[in-house]
Amino acid sequence: MDLTIIVPTYNEGPNVVELLGRIGEVMTGRDFEVLFVDDSTDDTPAVVQAAAATTSFPVRLLHRDTATDGLGGAVLEGFAAARSPWCLVMDGDLQHPPETIPSLLDRAAVGDVDVVVASRYAAGGTSKGLADATRTTVSRASNLLTKAMFPRKLAGCSDPMTGFFLLNRDAIDIRALHPRGFKILLEVLARRQLRIAEVPFNFAPRHAGASKASFTQGIRFLTQLTMLRFGRMSAFALVGGFGAVANLVIMWGLMRLGVEYVVAAVIASEVTIIGNFLLLEYLVFADMRSESGLMRHRFLKSFTFNNAEALIRIPVMWLLVEGTHLSAVFAAALTLVAAFIVRFVFHALVVYAPRRSRAAAATRARQVVGQHADP
């Protein structure tokens, strides 16, 4: 088989028939398959199966009932299940026009590249399908930020944020990829130096259904970018920094309302302990959750440790305020900084350690501390 077209879907039923029809029109005479990797909660799987019965080319469905790794994880499963070493990834909403596929294949056929990117920003491409000026601005700013953080690996790519690309699966190590959210191509290109070519395309309006872009996906992207460039510890620091700021803001607000500063510090700590755990759970350590037991057990470990740490940190803050006459907020900031390393080590070694064995957990945590992409 010459090609596997991987289409990750989430509630995209109204687009399936149109997508397959247009793929069939432009792929006449080629040996290919379409593989839907579906995380839908609606009738999309049934729509795919019904449409597959009417096509002249193979259509397969991999439905994931309990997946938590988003579009990026779906694409990885597609790579693993593909019947061809060449895999084309595209969205199921027809914003990636199937009519561009032959151009991608023709460029790959030259034989000098590992990946061919369908780019909105190469000469001849457009991004008019973005919903509004805000989405366009965010897309371009994210693109520039990403290229600035990986200037060498992305030197030949004008659109590392696209989800429309053709890849030689043999050129990558699937096990080394840890995508978060939508940006699977960024994960692929940042992990290994690949030979890149581009084909321009016109990013079309969505055919049907609602966009899956959200503020949460934006946070996932920033976390992914941070971890790719600097490693897991820096992403932990990003969450910790957010929590520290939230802690100080809550404490300051309560003090303005007349709450005594020690009581305000306790309340602020409890609120941010819970918030930080949720951010760590779904952003920083998302890829380690499946091996580390039940969520409630992780929460109890994290909550207990952080409260024990607070029982030490808050008296130290009191000593700083009473003994050196520092401002309460500044003293709290100093103690939060001091607690960061201890928190990270505990979460990597204990909270998210694999359950298989203590030795394996320790080894995994040491790898986690140093995990990063090559510059």
Task: Tell whether the model's pLDDT for residue 321 goes beyond 90.
Answer: no
| pLDDT for position 282 | 82
pLDDT digits (tens, 9 = 90+) for 156-184: 788 888 889 999 999 999 888 877 656 78
CA dihedral 253, 254, 258, 259 (to 10 degrees): -160
pLDDT, mean of residues 331-357: 73
- For residue 323 the two structure tokens come to 């003994």
Sequence-distant (6+) residues with CB within 8 A of 224 are 179, 180, 181, 183, 186, 187
Residue 154's pLDDT band, with cuts at 50, 70 and 90, is confident
Residues 95 and 212: beta-carbon distance below 8 Å: no
Q: Does the pLDDT of residue 361 top 70, yes or no?
A: no
Measured between alpha carbons, how far is residue 373 from residues 227, 235, 283, 291 in Å?
Answer: 8, 13, 17, 23
3-state secondary structure of 84: coil
| Across 221-225, 258-262, 361-365, least confident range | 361-365
pLDDT at 308 over 70: yes
Rounded CA gap, 309 and 297, in Å?
18
Tell me the one-letter amino acid at 217: Q
95-101 average pLDDT score: 94
Per-residue model confidence (pLDDT) at position 82: 95
Mean pLDDT, residues 257-268 taken together? 91
Sequence letter at residue 262: V
Percentage of residues in the chain having pLDDT higher than 70: 81
Q: Could you give the CA distance from residue 362 to residue 375 in angstroms, rounded to a whole number?
A: 26
Nearest partner of 5 among 80, 97, 86, 74, judged by Cα: 86
Lowest mean pLDDT among 77-91, 197-211, 261-275: 197-211
Q: What is the DSSP letter of 149?
A: H
**Average pLDDT score over the chain:** 82
pLDDT confidence of residue 175 = 85
The letter for the amino acid at 153 is K
Q: Answer with the residue of higher pLDDT: 340 or 323.
A: 323
Using only C-alpha atoms, the chain has a radius of gyration, in whole angstroms, of: 24
> What confidence score (pLDDT) does residue 330 get?
83
Longest dimension (CA), the chain: 82
Containing H/E element for 61?
Answer: strand 59-63
Average pLDDT on 72-101 reads 93
CB within 8 A of 12, min separation 6: which ones?
40, 44, 92, 93, 209
Give the pLDDT confidence of 44-67 residue by residue, as tens digits: 999 999 999 999 999 999 999 876
Greater pLDDT, 337 or 211:
337
Average pLDDT over residues 302-328: 85
**What is the Cα–Cα distance from 219 to 100, expressed in whole angstroms?**
30
Span 334-343, average pLDDT: 74
Answer yes or no: are the C-beta atoms of 32 and 166 closer than 8 Å. Answer: no
DSSP string, 232-271: HHHHHHHHHHHHHHHHHHHHHHHHHTT--HHHHHHHHHHH
Please tell me which residue, 234 or 300, carries the higher pLDDT value: 300
Pair 234, 227: CB distance under 8 Å: yes
Q: Is 243 within 8 Å of 343 (Cβ atoms)?
A: no
**pLDDT value, residue 331:** 82
pLDDT for the residue numbered 373: 41
pLDDT tens digit sequence for 191-250? 888 999 999 999 876 555 555 555 566 666 666 666 665 666 677 778 888 888 898 899
Average pLDDT on 69-92 reads 91
Mean pLDDT of 249-255: 93
Domain parsing of the chain, residue ranges: 3-210, 231-370
**Mean pLDDT over residues 88-93, rounded?**
93
All residues at 6 or more sequence positions from 183 whose CB lies less than 8 Å from its CB, including other chains: 72, 160, 161, 163, 221, 224
Give 122's pLDDT tier (boundaries 50, 70, 90): confident
* pLDDT(364) > 50: no
User: Distance (Å, rounded) from C-alpha 8 to C-alpha 319?
Assistant: 55
Burial (0-12, 13-18, 19+ Cβ within 10 Å), 239: buried
The proportion of the chain whose per-residue pLDDT surpasses 90, expressed as a percent, equals 36
Q: Tell me the mean pLDDT in the region 61-82.
A: 87
What is the fold, at CATH topology level, of the domain defined by 3-210?
A: Spore Coat Polysaccharide Biosynthesis Protein SpsA; Chain A (3.90.550)
Judged by average pLDDT, the poorest of 33-37, 100-104, 205-209 is: 205-209
Task: Please tell me the predicted confidence (pLDDT) of residue 148.
Answer: 65
CA 77, 81, 82, 85 dihedral sign is positive
Angle separating helix axes 358-370 and 328-346, nearest 10 degrees:
130
Answer whether residue 367 shows pLDDT above 60.
no
Q: Is the dihedral of CA 46, 47, 48, 53 positive or negative?
A: positive
How many other CB atoms sit within 10 Å of the CB of residue 168?
Answer: 17
Query: What are the helix (H) ranges across the chain?
Result: 13-26, 44-52, 70-81, 101-108, 133-149, 184-191, 215-230, 232-256, 261-279, 295-324, 328-346, 358-370
